[in-house]
Amino acid sequence: MASEEILIVDCDTGIDDALALLYLLADPSVRIGAVTTVFGNTDPETAALNTLRVLELAGRPDIPVAIGAPHNLRGNRHLAPDVHGEDGLGNTHLPVPAVAPIGEPAAELIVRTARENPGAVHLLAVGPLTNLAAALELEPELPRLVKHVTIMGGAMMHPGNVTPAAEANISNDPEAARIVLRAGWPVTLVPLDATMTEAITEEQRQRLADFGSPVTTFTAAILDLYLDFYAKNAFGERKAACHDPLAAAIAVGDVEPLLAPIVPVDVETGDGPARGTTVADLRGQYRGFPADASATVRVVLKTDRTFGERLVERLCGAEETRGAA
Amino acid sequence: MASEEILIVDCDTGIDDALALLYLLADPSVRIGAVTTVFGNTDPETAALNTLRVLELAGRPDIPVAIGAPHNLRGNRHLAPDVHGEDGLGNTHLPVPAVAPIGEPAAELIVRTARENPGAVHLLAVGPLTNLAAALELEPELPRLVKHVTIMGGAMMHPGNVTPAAEANISNDPEAARIVLRAGWPVTLVPLDATMTEAITEEQRQRLADFGSPVTTFTAAILDLYLDFYAKNAFGERKAACHDPLAAAIAVGDVEPLLAPIVPVDVETGDGPARGTTVADLRGQYRGFPADASATVRVVLKTDRTFGERLVERLCGAEETRGAA
């Protein structure tokens, strides 16, 4: 990643959000300007505490954490303790972190940072898109101020996860997702099509546990519940999708998508069975996706399916580096 | 197909509807009780005339043809002269057939035939589902009277064709499709996931032309415009999807699907970007699609991709048989 780029991670930490943060924090060349939190896997206050726990663990308590939207644009929310645990981190129940969240609301932090660093901010959003929609409302020029937006969300030629058609982040706030995906800024969208094929396995989790550093021990611990959920509800075996860390790795250029057309994308916001569906125009698939000048969203449909290994190596490798330093 | 089964073909003839009829008519063991027509590729009156032309060509002017719905349940319609020609048969402009459609409306014919032959009628619907919805309205017991329903329609893990998310038959009347797919009768749904992978090529069309029988010459002629459309709008080369004939072949048991889970299916009827989308619950895909006792729709996701060849052989082989008889 270019060193002048400032990453703002908007997340609902969350097991795979924690993995994404730890993945990014393991690379000292990645500059995380702030983390903002939103409801989703858990409430935004818990997500902020969890984020601070992760930052502390990685030795980066200096990164500010700002709390954002407690519910979606319709004023309601659905949390996911069944997937992420009652505490949002696999029921590991870590102590309260030493540092507190800052007082600035998430959307205001995003707008201020973008105004202060025009063309430098890369928004990595791995939760519901409510904070980004709020930031666009606060600053309509945001799409011109921000360098890029990378989003984990949606399901194209893959089933949804919270409903037959809809993925959790988009389903949690379809109205916000529609605003964000149609704002005209350059977006990279990382849907289930890619993330469900990038799994971390029980064998890899065990290697993290065996490595025995604070970060890998923590990672192995939070993955335990996550693999339970995925075994029962998705894969039928103990492995889990690397949703948020894959999006993080794509955002910083570590993973180069194998298929990622730039196509029109919309979101269904009606109350029928397709509510929260991402509707991407993939009809050009047999013709190599002819260029569409009106489109601004790059949809990642395929990666090389080696990300679980990359994640493990990164977390163990970074620990080795830190230990040697 | 069991000889006691009576097939009623509900169609909007239409190039690939004509292919479906000719495919079925080439097998003397298939008993077609009637053909009913609906708006879609063309208006239902033209579809009836086109059907009668096809029946005449195949030597079966005895099969009754009944006209059905001129528009969808909302009272509007969108025809497809760009795909099927101004005459619905690739602008081949055949003469008016010798036989006329019968006076009985399509939905009444369907209900009457089902009542007269309880448990024997197999409905093969390859157009918008308006006539079937009307028949269900006329006779709420229809799901108990009919043996099976095979439908060409929908798009699951494949893009739509008339919109990014919706396939033409469902998109033309989402309200009817929702009624029909949720009626509780046993349905086999053949969506674009299967039909777009079963193509007929220019080389195969040329072999039909070279064979030189009335049926194959006609087939090659109507396919000319169809291949133009598909080359330009879908495949980038002269080949076309075998939508309706594939559904016909599956209905009579000639093609055995390789992957066809029985899963809950719904249709989005809102006015957002997903209008007309078929929402099938395919989340069980990684676990071999666990049985769902509430589901009655078998969704054909995969066939063996040799149907174009089967279609050519059937049409040529049947001609040889007829010539020899």
Question: What is the residue-averaged pLDDT of chain A?
Answer: 96
Residues of B in contact with A268 (CB under 8 A): 268, 270, 272-274, 277
> B121-168, pLDDT tens digit by residue?
999 999 999 999 999 999 999 999 999 999 999 999 999 999 999 999
Q: What is the pLDDT of residue A321?
A: 55
**CB distance B289 to B181 below 8 Å:** no
Q: What is the pLDDT of residues A251-291, one digit of tens each?
A: 999 999 999 999 999 999 999 999 999 999 999 999 999 99
Does the distance separating the beta carbons of A279 and B164 come in below 8 Å? yes
Residues 6+ apart with CB under 8 A from A72: A39, A128, A130, A172, A173, A175, A176
Tell me the three-class secondary structure of A102-130, residue by residue.
ECCCHHHHHHHHHHHCCCCEEEEECCCCH
pLDDT, tens digit, 9 for 90 and up, residues B192-230: 999 999 999 999 999 999 999 999 999 999 999 999 999
User: Measured between alpha carbons, how far is residue B70 from residues B130, B150, B290 in Å?
Assistant: 9, 22, 40
What's the count of helices (H) and strands (E) in chain A, helices before strands?
13, 12
Confidence band, pLDDT 50/70/90 cuts, at residue A324: very low
Q: Quick one: pLDDT at residue A282?
A: 98
> What's the gap in Å between the CA of B284 and the closest CA on chain A?
7
Q: Which residue of B has its CA nearest to A160?
A: B283
Task: With residue A149 as reference, give the H or E element that holds it.
Answer: strand A146-152
Interchain CB distance below 8 Å, B283 and A235: no
Catalytically active residues of A are 243
Q: Report the chain B residue with the minimal C-alpha distance to residue A278.
A: B274
* Residue numbers in B near A271 (CB within 8 A): 270
What ipTM was estimated for this complex? 0.94
Q: What is the per-residue pLDDT across A90-112, written as a single tens digit (0 to 9) for each?
A: 999 988 999 999 999 999 999 99
Disruptive mutation site among A233, A259, A277 for chain B (greatest number of B CBs within 10 Å) = A277
With CB atoms and an 8 Å threshold, state whether B272 touches A270: yes
Q: Where would I find the H helices in chain A? A: 15-25, 44-57, 81-84, 106-116, 130-138, 142-145, 168-172, 174-181, 192-195, 202-211, 214-230, 243-251, 307-324
pLDDT at position A4, please?
A: 86
Q: What is the mean pLDDT of residues B172-194?
A: 98
Q: Which residues of B touch A264 (CB under 8 A)?
A: 164
Between CA B39 and CA A111, with CA A275 as vertex, the angle to 5 degrees is 130
Which band of pLDDT confidence, cut at 50, 70 and 90, is reported for residue B324?
very low
pLDDT at residue B319 is higher than 90: no
Q: For residue B190, what are its two tokens?
A: 């053949």
Enumerate chain B positions whose Cβ falls within 8 A of a Cβ in A: 157-161, 163-165, 234-236, 264, 266-274, 277, 279-283, 285-288
